[in-house]
Amino acid sequence: MGKAYVYVIFWTRIVNKTAAPIRLSVAVPVDSFKLADEPATSVALPTTAPVSTGKGLPAPDNYFKIIFPAEEMTEEKAPLMNYGLKDVSAVVGHKRRHSSSFQLTVQPKATRFIYVVVLASRARNGIMRAGFNVRGDKLYYRVNEQDIYCGQSTTILRWSS
């Protein structure tokens, strides 16, 4: 039996408001990146029995990889389960040991959507957030507080959430 993984599916909208095509070449390393947990919050539960105040074993480190599925996202898929991404198990099973990359051209005055899957070694304590971040001509993909360089563009990009 194989190892269990946890995945989160995100999608990104890329809008080209210019008169020229935008060409993106995006690649993330094959490396795994450490995913930090948020501090656990304590919840007081009513009980008449004594409660142990000792700390349990710490959770093992959590690592993640980024996958860009080949299937194209559309706006109509946004309300669907997994945002309409078909056969998620095939996507993560096939890609989890490979570098993930894509090339995309967004025509003038057009919009494109892409899927991004974050595959983690275990569930995270807290919310997972992700998205592209542009600094100058360099493109990063951010998962929580971790920025991963993933490409650049010859076009000046402005990213808005």
Mean pLDDT in residue range 28-51: 58
Residue 65 resides in a domain: yes
Q: State whether residue 84 is helix, strand or coil.
A: helix
Residue 96 resides in a domain: yes
Residue 43 resides in a domain: no
What six digits make up the tokens of 63? 């690592």
* Cα–Cα distances in angstroms (integers) from residue 76 to residues 28, 81, 109, 113, in the given order: 27, 12, 19, 11
Mean pLDDT in residue range 142-153: 84
Residue 87 resides in a domain: yes
The domain total for the chain is 1
The per-residue pLDDT for range 8-22, each reduced to its tens digit, is 999 999 999 999 998
What is the pLDDT, as a whole number, of residue 13? 92
**Would you say 138 and 152 are in contact if contact means Cβ atoms under 8 Å apart?**
yes
In what order do the strands lie in the sheet containing 6-15?
A: 6-15, 111-120, 63-67, 33-34
Mean pLDDT in residue range 1-6: 70
Residue 150 resides in a domain: no
Residue 143 resides in a domain: no
- Quick check: 41 pLDDT over 70? no
For residue 14, the enclosing domain spans 6-36+60-129
Residue 24 resides in a domain: yes
Residue 147 resides in a domain: no
